[in-house]
Structure 1
């Protein structure tokens, strides 16, 4: 089980680190710059929003996951006050978030100054802090969803983002437990996820994922059908489709998630972060290729954090 916890966090970090290289870069530009699709941790494309980062670093998407994971690991419980303080400290270090979802920064600024939070945007970034909540409450999906909602609502009071966070939290917990043989049982897995969402639109996206899997649709078809933007339901359903298409093959999942830019570019770091989390949680850390892990800047620290989170999740 400890290796599955490591797999979830390392998978998230590797997916983010590779995906940020080609975020919002269309297919032809990727091929022109890299010569082929991305299959390794690389320097970000000069036109990527992450162009200021180095190969093997992670973007603000993974940093938000890490902030919540560190709080849970240190406190051994969900401490909303501690998470708020960590968010504010992070927001004040401007160099760490050159291209984070602006709603996130506005929300943290509101928290800092005691202002009421307005109904925020629909970006998948707002839902990503659900990952460590799914890990912390991996045996109890109801608590995982409650915790995820509490954290997500600090920055995103939006029903779509809250639904996406609920799906992520439940999925991570179920994958860590290995309750489903997903090659054959993905319809039951998707059915379970649907029981934790409120909006018909979220159920509609999950149904589309299942339909695409049933007809063995191509990755290109899934991009056209589901979308691949930062809208929470697009990025989440795209990541789920890519993972569930070859759930036992972490390397394949991550390469297809990283290269989910399509003809016009996409939110490849969020999609690959999520798909990497799912595949790492399901297949354990050893399923992630070693040549990726060795190029990840904070690999040792991420493994230590996963181990701490595993330890506190046992109580």
Structure 2
């Protein structure tokens, strides 16, 4: 199980680090710049929002995951006040969040100033705390969903964001336990996720993922039919489809997730992060290519954090 915990955070970091290189870059620009789709950690494309980062670094999306994971690991419980304090400290270091979802920053600013947070915000960044909370409560999906909603509502008070986050938290916990043989049982897996969401739109997206898998749709068809933007249901559903298409091949999952830009560009770092987390949870650290893991700038720090979170989650 420890191997799977480490795999979850490393998979998320790798997917984010590779995906940030081509975020919002259309396919023809990717091919022109890199010669082909990307298959390794690399320098961000000059037009990527992450162009100021180096190869192997992670973006603001993974920082959100890391902050919540660090709080859970250090406090040994879900401490909302501590998470708020971490968010505020991060907000005050502007160099760390140059292109994160504006809604996330506006919400943290409101918390800092003691103002009421506006309702809304359905971007994928808002649902990312579901990954560490899903890890912490991996054996109890009900607690995972309750905890996830409490953290997500700090910044995104939107029912779609809460639904997508709930499904993601349960998906992480179930992947860690590997209770489903996902090659054949993806339908049961998706049906389970549906029981933890409330909006018809969310159920529609989940059903669309199942339909695409049933007919062995291509990755290009999934982009056309689900979308690949920053809208939480698009990015999550796209990542879920890519993971469930080849669940036992994390290398293939991550490569296809980070190259999910389509003809017009997409939120490839978020899609890569979520798909990488699920593939890492299901398969463990050892099945993630070592050449990717060791190129992460904060590889050892991520492994240590996952180890701490694992030990806390066991008790």
What range is the shorter-chain TM-score in? over 0.9
Name the structure 1 match of 2:310: 310
Q: What is the alpha-carbon distance in structure 2 between the residues aligned to residue 122 and residue 175 of structure 1?
A: 24
Name the structure 2 match of 1:97: 97
Q: Can you list the C-alpha shifts for 1:19-57, whole angstroms capped at 9, x where unaligned?
A: 000000000000000000000000000000000000000
Deviation at 1:122, TM superposition (A): 1.0
Q: What is the alpha-carbon distance in structure 1 between the residues aligned to residue 7 and residue 262 of structure 2?
A: 27
Q: What is the alpha-carbon distance in structure 1 between the residues aligned to residue 218 and residue 131 of structure 2?
A: 27
Structure 1 stretches of at least 4 aligned residues deviating more than 6 Å after TM superposition: none
Name the structure 1 match of 2:28: 28
Q: Equivalences for 1:108-119 in 2 at 5 Å? A: 108-119=108-119
Q: Equivalences for 1:1-315 in 2 at 5 Å? A: 1-315=1-315
Q: Secondary structure at the match of 1:297?
A: coil
Q: What is the alpha-carbon distance in structure 2 between the residues aligned to residue 101 and residue 119 of structure 1?
A: 15
Q: What is the alpha-carbon distance in structure 2 between the residues aligned to residue 140 and residue 217 of structure 1?
A: 32
Q: Can you list the C-alpha shifts for 1:168-218, whole angstroms capped at 9, x where unaligned?
A: 100000010110000000000000000000100000000000000000000
Q: Secondary structure at the match of 1:216?
A: coil
Q: What is the alpha-carbon distance in structure 2 between the residues aligned to residue 182 and residue 121 of structure 1?
A: 31
Q: What is the alpha-carbon distance in structure 1 between the residues aligned to residue 116 and residue 37 of structure 2?
A: 44
Q: What is the alpha-carbon distance in structure 1 between the residues aligned to residue 211 and residue 22 of structure 2?
A: 28
Q: Secondary structure at the match of 1:271?
A: helix
Q: Secondary structure at the match of 2:229?
A: coil
Q: Secondary structure at the match of 1:82?
A: helix
Q: What is the alpha-carbon distance in structure 1 between the residues aligned to residue 244 and residue 75 of structure 2?
A: 34
Deviation at 1:120, TM superposition (A): 2.6
Q: Secondary structure at the match of 2:237?
A: helix
**Structure 2 length normalisation: TM-score?**
1.00
Q: Can you list the C-alpha shifts for 1:252-278, whole angstroms capped at 9, x where unaligned?
A: 000000100000000000000000000
User: Please, what is the CA RMSD of the aligned residues?
Assistant: 0.4
Q: What is the alpha-carbon distance in structure 2 between the residues aligned to residue 177 and residue 288 of structure 1?
A: 18
Q: Secondary structure at the match of 2:220?
A: helix
Q: What is the alpha-carbon distance in structure 1 between the residues aligned to residue 81 and residue 119 of structure 2?
A: 21
Q: What is the alpha-carbon distance in structure 2 between the residues aligned to residue 287 and residue 59 of structure 1?
A: 23
Instruction: Name structure 2 gaps, 5 residues minimum.
Output: none
Q: What is the alpha-carbon distance in structure 1 between the residues aligned to residue 105 and residue 212 of structure 2?
A: 36
Q: What is the alpha-carbon distance in structure 1 between the residues aligned to residue 75 and residue 120 of structure 2?
A: 28
Deviation at 1:121, TM superposition (A): 1.6
Deviation at 1:69, TM superposition (A): 0.1
